Structure 1
Amino acid sequence: MLSSIAARITSTGHSSAKKAVSWKFLRCYSSTVNEANVTVLDFKLHKLDDGPETNTVLTRDEALKYYREMQVIRRMETAAGTLYKSKEIRGFCHLYSGQEACCVGIQNALTLDDAVITAYRAHGWAYMRGISAHGILAELTGRKTGCAKGKGGSMHMYAKNFYGGNGIVGAQVPLGAGIALAHQYRDEKTVCVTLYGDGAANQGQIFEAFNMAKLWDLPAIFVCENNKYGMGTAVDRAAASTDYYTRGDYIPGIWIDGMDVIAVREATKFSKDYCLSGKGPLVLEVETYRYHGHSMSDPGTSYRTREEVQEIRQQRDPIISFKQKIIELNLTTEEELKDIDKSVRKEIEEAVVKAKADPRPAIAETFTHVYANTPKYTVRGCDAFSVHTSS
């Protein structure tokens, strides 16, 4: 059978090169399976009798897709770090390296009709919501081709049904409740996923949003991305209770291994079904880890040891562990994943080159997009005598 497949592949030509490619194709794919059963770490539940499935099916296409998405985010963030150090990126820059399984797992249980709002560590989320690596890197470097026309930078990225990227700690949580209210009001079968960090989890406005969301049984999934440190403060030094999935009190909650993309996906599937059944909101804690400092001005080593970071990288890295899992399950091969790595590296390198060559916005752009859907207006400058008119 394999010989006949190879014959069909090479039927359009007789060169040795084509035959070599054909047999390489067969070696890569003949031993793989189309799907496999996967078991994930048990979920911890709060006020729930039943939780997400711990046994599920992963298809070959899904495995390759998730692996590629996590690799794109990792390489994009590495590129962003390099651009920042060379002063191509100015201002704030919060990297997502180490947390890739969170956004990839959650988004692959949603559709683009569902809404997402997050905090300032938003590059990975921007990519998963449909913005290209070039659009993100162009935004970071302040180019007019960026996803916010070069005006938003690291903390302010937007796409359809993706509401940022927000710089004020915890302020996106009540906004997320409002977006969920809009879904409910319009009778849409969609949810709003609202993300915040462990550092923001103690903000009072979060509990006000929880209260309103439960009162109205909104289709809201509140997700605490617990990466263990709020800026430079460890979670157990900042919170009397670090069981963030129980913080909703009267709202049910789920703890998830945030370094396992499949566990995150399954918990999000369960949560979306729960919310859309009319039962109201859920609070999820996705336990993860960030490899870099809080922002580029933070070396990330004054409040934790280098050995701690290395241990997580070696033992719990979301990409490496997923790679090992899908190879062991015969969903793919080492050779095939190396091809994906090469493709991703090329994509990011080209995105960096293009972003650096793109033009910056004109000075006049400073005074546009101050308001939406309004006629021309004037904006006072830095003193009482300079006035600028919108375009």
Structure 2
Amino acid sequence: MNQKTSAYRQFNVIDDLEALKKMWEIRIFEETIQELFDAGELHGTMHLCIGQEATAVGGAGILDQSDWIVSTHRNHGHCIAKGTDIRSMFAEMLGKKTGTNEGKGGSMHIADLDMGNLGSNGIVGAGFPIAAGAALSAQMQGTKQVVLCYAGDGATNEGSFHEALNLASIWQLPVIYFIENNQYGMSSSIEQMVNIQKLSDRSKSYGIEGITIDGNDLSVVSETVSHAVAKARSGGGPTLIEALTYRHKGHSKSDKLKYRSEDECHDWQVNNDPILRLENELIQNKGMKEEEIRQLEMSIRRNFSDLIASVKGDSEPTIKDLWTHVYAEAEV
């Protein structure tokens, strides 16, 4: 088993820097598409994951390329962390033929099979059974692949969650169900939606391991997921992980955020921001300089600006393209 999937793997200095770069790529990607949306250049809706970068990089970012992820409507960070090409993602968002789905999927339907990204969709809880099916495939074929299935806290109240966990348990499937508890399902607080303290306690009903962690601490996330991956790959079955985090923005672009207090937002955004926490760790304990970090950030911003300028010149799908990829191509 390689280092990327060893139990309780600790990031070293090089890994920390790469992780910080990836987290900034996710945040700047989200900020960039928000600017495009505000300028009227991006149509439809989108769900930003600003504030949840550690769950993406500490989860999908430590998997092998052959491992699979299943994502949600809040998917951009997961896709970037798993290795999906960022230019292709920008192209998809702008409806270009060079996009991951040739411009026909948009924000909520990014997929990249070459990088083990089985795709996202806008149906809450839909990923749970898809992940179970993919894990069953890996188990039956003996490939040693694992599946990391992302979902939000609200999705754990869907029937698909309980059905999938039951199957994963009785068949001991190589799947990790990773719940990003960002405190709200749309505008409803999780405290008003469940009568338990920890969503991970629901694992007890199915006889599998469950754990609640600080989802804004990159090291904690990566260690926990590494342990779950190693267990799943060796035949130890599924794990349910609840990662406590916070989305800085609204549920979607139409969300006015009237259900959260300024004090609550300030506490999470200033005192518990995952990127700031990692930067402070690098500066205080790894000898990094603030100037080096800011140079890294600005370099990503310049690169993304160039990517957008380039993508805007790409062609768009034609009417004829509507008929492609509708049915599987096979000989009868």
- The counterpart of 1:357, out of the listed 313, 317, 321, is 313
Query: What corresponds to 1:102 in structure 2?
Result: 55
Query: What corresponds to 1:291 in structure 2?
Result: 248
1:235–1:242 CA contact under 8 A, matched in 2: no
- The counterpart of 1:217, out of the listed 151, 172, 188, is 172
Query: What corresponds to 2:213 in structure 1?
Result: 256
Answer yes or no: is 1:346 the counterpart of 2:299. Answer: no
Query: What corresponds to 1:89 in structure 2?
Result: 42
1:98–1:291 CA contact under 8 A, matched in 2: yes
In the alignment, the residues of structure 1 paired with residue 86 and residue 103 of structure 2 have an alpha-carbon distance, to the nearest angstrom, of 14
In the alignment, the residues of structure 2 paired with residue 76 and residue 329 of structure 1 have an alpha-carbon distance, to the nearest angstrom, of 28
2:61–2:82 CA contact under 8 A, matched in 1: no
Q: For 1:34-113, what aligned pairs fall within 5 Å after superposition? A: 57-113=10-66
Shift in Å, 1:85: 1.3
1:170–1:206 CA contact under 8 A, matched in 2: yes
In the alignment, the residues of structure 2 paired with residue 233 and residue 106 of structure 1 have an alpha-carbon distance, to the nearest angstrom, of 26
1:109–1:266 CA contact under 8 A, matched in 2: no
Equivalent position SS for 2:312: helix
**Structure 2 unmatched ranges of 5 or more:** 1-6
- The counterpart of 2:132, out of the listed 173, 177, 180, is 177
CA offsets per residue over residues 87-140 of structure 1, 9 Å max, x none? 211112111100000010112331111110011111111112222222111111
Answer yes or no: is 1:302 the counterpart of 2:258. Answer: yes
Query: What corresponds to 1:202 in structure 2?
Result: 157
Over aligned residue pairs, what C-alpha RMSD do you find?
1.6
Shift in Å, 1:335: 2.3
TM-score by length of 2: 0.93
1:92–1:154 CA contact under 8 A, matched in 2: yes
- Single out whichever of 324-333 and 190-199 deviates more from structure 2: 324-333
With over 3 angstroms needed to count, the CA separation of the structure-2 counterparts of 1:108 and 1:126, relative to structure 1, is closer
Equivalent position SS for 1:148: coil
Tell me which structure has the larger Cα radius of gyration: 1
In the alignment, the residues of structure 1 paired with residue 68 and residue 84 of structure 2 have an alpha-carbon distance, to the nearest angstrom, of 15
2:63–2:82 CA contact under 8 A, matched in 1: no
Letter in 2 for 1:72: E
- The counterpart of 1:241, out of the listed 196, 206, 214, is 196
In the alignment, the residues of structure 1 paired with residue 233 and residue 64 of structure 2 have an alpha-carbon distance, to the nearest angstrom, of 14
Query: What corresponds to 2:106 in structure 1?
Result: 153
Query: What corresponds to 2:3 in structure 1?
Result: none
**Structure 1 unmatched ranges of 5 or more:** 1-51, 377-391
Q: For 1:162-173, what aligned pairs fall within 5 Å after superposition? A: 162-173=117-128
In the alignment, the residues of structure 2 paired with residue 267 and residue 330 of structure 1 have an alpha-carbon distance, to the nearest angstrom, of 22
Letter in 2 for 1:171: A
2:128–2:160 CA contact under 8 A, matched in 1: yes
With over 3 angstroms needed to count, the CA separation of the structure-2 counterparts of 1:315 and 1:108, relative to structure 1, is same
Answer yes or no: is 1:320 the counterpart of 2:276. Answer: yes
Shift in Å, 1:375: 6.8
Shift in Å, 1:246: 1.4
In the alignment, the residues of structure 1 paired with residue 330 and residue 321 of structure 2 have an alpha-carbon distance, to the nearest angstrom, of 16
In the alignment, the residues of structure 2 paired with residue 134 and residue 143 of structure 1 have an alpha-carbon distance, to the nearest angstrom, of 11
With over 3 angstroms needed to count, the CA separation of the structure-2 counterparts of 1:57 and 1:184, relative to structure 1, is closer
In the alignment, the residues of structure 2 paired with residue 120 and residue 191 of structure 1 have an alpha-carbon distance, to the nearest angstrom, of 21
Equivalent position SS for 1:58: coil
Equivalent position SS for 2:149: strand
Equivalent position SS for 1:178: helix
Shift in Å, 1:57: 4.1
Q: For 1:113-132, what aligned pairs fall within 5 Å after superposition? A: 113-132=66-85
Shift in Å, 1:331: 4.3
In the alignment, the residues of structure 2 paired with residue 240 and residue 76 of structure 1 have an alpha-carbon distance, to the nearest angstrom, of 36
Q: Which has the higher helix share?
A: 2
In the alignment, the residues of structure 2 paired with residue 345 and residue 173 of structure 1 have an alpha-carbon distance, to the nearest angstrom, of 35
| Count of residue pairs the alignment pairs up | 322
1:136–1:146 CA contact under 8 A, matched in 2: yes
- Single out whichever of 302-311 and 147-156 deviates more from structure 2: 302-311
In the alignment, the residues of structure 2 paired with residue 168 and residue 371 of structure 1 have an alpha-carbon distance, to the nearest angstrom, of 21
List structure 1 segments (4+ residues) > 4 angstroms apart after TM superposition.
none
1:117–1:194 CA contact under 8 A, matched in 2: yes
With over 3 angstroms needed to count, the CA separation of the structure-2 counterparts of 1:351 and 1:306, relative to structure 1, is farther
1:220–1:280 CA contact under 8 A, matched in 2: yes
Answer yes or no: is 1:367 the counterpart of 2:320. Answer: no
Q: Give the fraction of aligned pairs with identical amino acids, expressed as a percent.
A: 35
CA offsets per residue over residues 253-276 of structure 1, 9 Å max, x none? 111111011111000111011112
With over 3 angstroms needed to count, the CA separation of the structure-2 counterparts of 1:370 and 1:57, relative to structure 1, is closer
Answer yes or no: is 1:232 the counterpart of 2:187. Answer: yes
Letter in 1 for 2:298: K
